Chain A
Amino acid sequence: MSSGLRQTFVIARRDFLSIVATPTFLLFLLAPLFMLGFGLVGGLGASALDGDGSDNIVIAVVSPADAALLHAADAQMHRDYPGKSGIYRLETVVAGANPEKQARILAKKDDKNVYSALFGTLERPVIIEQNEGGLSGRYLASLAEMAVRAKADGSMRPLVQPEYQDLGSGANVGVTRKALGFGATFIIFMLTLLTAGQTVSTLAEEKANKVIEILAAAAPLESIFAGKVVAMLGVAVLFISFWLVVGIAGSLAAVAIFADQASLAATSAAGSAGAFNLADFAPAIGFPAFLGLGVIYFLLAFLLLGSVFLGIGALASSMREIQMLSLPITIFQVAMFGLGSAAANNPGTTLATVAQIIPFSSPFAMAARGATDPAIWPHLIAIVWQGLWVALVLWLAVKLFRFGVLKSGPGWRLFRKRTR
């Protein structure tokens, strides 16, 4: 083993152990539980609010006969589009001497979530909208249309009787694969978001404790920086492995506990929708290669972004500066994810190619490409390309640190004149 590589692993080992052998690491490890907990509480709160009588309401100020027709149409709509957005709850009020005034008063009532109010005849209704051109007005118009047709036909019986057929095995594979590509991009992004950003502060301890000079005298800065990134990568891998094991164990336990119910449900699903075929959901490159590439692209995404953040953090002179850096770092990560996910949703486009070439979005975009494109060679090129960029970013980070912090080296031409 070369001296530089040995020193890289010595530094990585120390950093890794010093991170994982602390109570703080336990908090970090269990952070997803807190996220899940907060998500659950938020979801419960939202659902409590949702079921608090605040439905989206449309009102019709019409005669009792027209009201009956409108309610029948509303019931038909709710049957046809169960639980869909754009569907409102209809309330009717018997029209008095001044239906317009009634409608306007009802539309402005604060205690109800009224979106639109209708008055006039069903053939020529006037609709007052909270938001001009919104869906609620169109919904009332549709109800009136159905009611008038029913009045002419004598019933609310649908004139069209469609037969719905399954598109069939493999026919919708493009959509599935795009979704799979986006899923891979999202997972890699979430994992790097959780772990890579922490490299920004890894040199802070050495700078604060003045250990940096001991390290700099003993090992090349390249080994120090690489050791730091490798240590954090080890922490990230440990974190992911832990949750993977927890997830697998949880799934196996769930299968064992609910085996009978699951078997029943599977039989029922097979009976109603045809046999489940895993091949319908397989990425173009195949599951084993897709998963393997996913792991490699996560490692490269971590190394790339981690190296950038390490380099930036190494230049910071205080913890306050490092804290200030967390926002632009998160924005940068989200921007790269945005580019990667755009590539996932538009495979084969120029945008996708650009995202695959830009080194910091390349791991996300290439992971998505594996879902829609069976070719292996672009991945080999991308892996080499991203690896080169990891080395380049580390080299640049070291150069900046040497020049900016250690005040060593000639720097760039631009600075050289100014420093004499």
Chain B
Amino acid sequence: MASTVIEASGLVKYFGDFRAVDGIDISVPQGSVYGILGPNGAGKTTTIRMLLGIIDPDEGTRSLLGSANPRSVSDRVGYLPEERGLYPGMKACEVIAFMGALRGLDWSAGRKRGAEMMEQVGLSRVVDEKIRKMSKGMAQMVQLIGSIVHRPELIVLDEPFSGLDPVNQGRLEALIGEERARGATIVFSTHVMAHAERLCDRLAIIAGAKRRFEGTVDEARGQLPLEVRYTPGDGAARLDGLLPAEATRRGDSFRFPIEDHAVAAWLTRLVDSGHGVASLSIERPGLHDAFVHIVGSDAVRDDAAMGDAK
């Protein structure tokens, strides 16, 4: 079994009377890309802040890179916070060098490596530009580079894709891939399922301040039954006996869930019915549907709770 870089158990955090995180357990294997998914206000950012030692949990234990004191290993961690922020009067290369220096990298090495990484993501022309003159997306990429310029073992990115255009999202995905190939462990939070589905080895879904799911993407998708999409060849509007009661109709086609073990029997019935097939697909629902299924009504609760908390 691979060793873990993050181990957290029973994390609890209150803000006043609001229970922002309620007994969350997380275990991140070394070298993996780990997603923390959840609706707005679910407690993702608070969980990340506790894991990194920015704030202390009210209950529970955490271990980062083998240390119970996350502060003691901060030089080995890179962090991109959800709320982006840079000194607007500083040049990009200086910001990157400063962020690297905070994590133990020499200033001049930080400048040099920062310039190389800026070139890598196609931003070499703005290396000596002040942050205030950059677009939001560019500044965000500068901040990301500043977060990883010291080549950390663990990279934590809080909503890294938000605010980026599709081109920069692609660049970021590539960068995550490269860091992973280098051997870094990457943890990122998001509520955009497509990124998680493409990048994550494992993920945790948080909703209502609790962890609702922990496992691989396939295991998350496995929470839902297969979905059948069927359009009869004869255009029949009624298919009594062939379709289950929960089947819905959209235009000429029908949709309904089906358990794995029932697929063979249903296909036999379809052949026997003689309605024919104009189109047929039997697929596992995507992470998006799995997420909605797992989170359920908690998504609504989270938004309402955030409103109250604010």
Confirm or deny: A14 has a beta carbon within 8 angstroms of a beta carbon on chain B.
yes
B71–A409 CB distance below 8 A: no
Contact yes or no, A210 B81, CB < 8 A: yes
Closest residue of chain B to A206 (Cβ to Cβ) is: B85
Q: Which residue of A lies closest to B105 (CB)?
A: A10
Query: B242 to chain A: closest CB distance in Å?
Result: 57
A210 & B102 in contact (Cβ 8 Å cutoff): no
Which of chain B's residues 44-97 have a Cβ closer than 8 Å to chain A? 52-56, 58, 71, 74-75, 77, 79, 81, 83-90
A216 x B54 contact (CB < 8 A): yes
CB distance from B13 to the nearest CB of A (A): 9
Cross-chain contact A205 with B54 (CB below 8 angstroms) = no
Q: Which of B82-129 contact A (CB under 8 A)?
A: 83-90, 98-99, 101-104
Quick check: B87 and A209 within 8 Å, CB to CB?
A: yes
Q: Output the least CB separation between A8 and chain B (Å).
A: 11
Contact in complex: B83, A210 (CB < 8 Å): yes
Q: Chain A residues near B143 (CB, 8 Å)? A: 214
**Residue of A whose beta carbon sits closest to that of B99:** A214
Q: Decide: A213 and B102 in contact? CB cutoff 8 A.
A: no
Instruction: Determine which of B56, B89, B103, B147 lies in contact with A408 in the assembled complex, contact meaning CB atoms within 8 Å.
Output: B56
Q: Smallest Cβ distance from A3 to chain B, in angstroms? A: 7
Which single member of B53, B71, B85, B104 contacts A209 (CB below 8 Å)?
A: B85
Q: Does B266 contact A (CB under 8 A)?
A: no
On whether the beta carbons of A10 and B87 are closer than 8 Å, the reply is no
* A213 and B71 within 8 A (CB): no
Q: Nearest chain B CB to A417's CB is how many angstroms away?
A: 12
Asked if residues B54 and A14 are in contact (CB atoms below 8 Å), the reply is: no
Known A-B contacts A18-B87, A209-B87; A214 and B81 likewise in contact (beta carbons under 8 Å): yes
A18 CB → nearest B CB, Å: 6
Smallest beta-carbon distance B11→chain A, Å: 13
Q: Evaluate contact between B71 and A220: CB separation under 8 angstroms.
A: yes
Residues of chain B with a CB closer than 8 A to A209's CB = 85-88
Residues of B within 8 A of A261 (CB): none
Q: Give the distance in Å from the alpha carbon of A213 to the alpha carbon of B86 in the complex.
A: 10
| Least distance between A289 CB and chain B CB atoms (Å) | 39
Whether A10 lies near B55 (C-beta < 8 A) is: no
B-facing mask of A210-242, CB < 8 A → 1, else 0? Answer: 111111111110000000000000000000000
Chain A residues with CB under 8 Å of B308's CB are none
Q: CB-nearest residue of chain A relative to B16?
A: A419
By beta carbon, the residue of chain B nearest A420 is B14
Q: Which residues of B contact A406 (CB under 8 A)?
A: 54-55
The A interface is mostly helix, strand or loop, or mixed, namely helix
Assess whether A410 is interfacial by the CB under 8 Å rule.
Answer: yes
A1-44 CB mask vs B (1 if < 8 Å, else 0) is 00100110011001000100010000000000000000000000
- Minimum distance in angstroms from B36 CB to a CB of chain A: 16
**By the criterion CB–CB under 8 Å, are B85 and A213 in contact?**
yes
Taken together as a complex, chains A and B put the C-alpha atoms of A249 and B71 apart, in Å, by 49
A79 at the interface (CB under 8 A from B): no
Nearest A residue to B52 by beta-carbon distance?
A217
A281: min CB distance to chain B, Å: 48
Chain A nearest CB, measured from B81 CB (Å)? 4
Q: Name the B residues within 8 Å of A124 (CB-CB).
A: none
Chain B neighbourhood of A218, CB < 8 A = 74, 79, 99, 102-103
Residues of A within 8 A of B104 (CB): 3, 6
Contact B56 A10 (CB under 8 A): no
Residues of chain B within 8 A (CB-CB) of A109 are none
Given A218-B74, A407-B15: A10 and B101 interface contact (C-beta under 8 Å): yes
Q: A3-B104, A6-B104 are in contact. Are A217 and B84 (CB under 8 A)?
A: no
Residues of A within 8 A of B81 (CB): 210, 213-214, 217
Q: How far is the CB of B31 from chain A (nearest CB, A)?
A: 22
CA of A73 to CA of B236 in the docked complex: distance in angstroms?
134
- Bound CA span A210–B45, Å: 15
Shortest beta-carbon distance from A401 to chain B in Å: 12
A211 and B85 within 8 A (CB): yes
Which B residues are CB-close (under 8 A) to A11?
102
| Binary contact readout A391-420 vs B (1 if CB under 8 angstroms, 0 otherwise) | 000000000001000111110000000011
Q: Which residue of B lies closest to A216 (CB)?
A: B54
Whole-angstrom distance from the CB of B51 to the nearest CB of chain A? 10
Check if B16 sits within 8 Å of A211, measured CB to CB: no
| A7 pairs with B102, CB closer than 8 A | yes
Decide if A408 touches B55 in the complex (CB within 8 Å): yes
Not counting A7-B102, A18-B89, A214-B85, a sample of 6 additional A-B residue pairs whose C-beta atoms are within 8 angstroms of each other reads A11-B102, A213-B85, A214-B146, A217-B81, A218-B99, A419-B16
Top 8 closest A-B pairs, CB basis?
A210-B85, A408-B55, A218-B102, A213-B81, A210-B83, A211-B85, A217-B79, A10-B101
Can you pick out 23 interface pairs between chain A and chain B where the beta carbons lie within 8 Å of each other?
A3-B104, A7-B102, A10-B101, A11-B102, A14-B87, A14-B98, A18-B90, A209-B85, A209-B86, A211-B87, A214-B85, A217-B74, A217-B81, A218-B99, A218-B103, A219-B102, A220-B71, A406-B54, A406-B55, A409-B56, A419-B14, A419-B17, A420-B17
Contact surface of A with B, Cβ cutoff 8 Å: 3, 6-7, 10-11, 14, 18, 22, 205-206, 209-220, 402, 406-410, 419-420
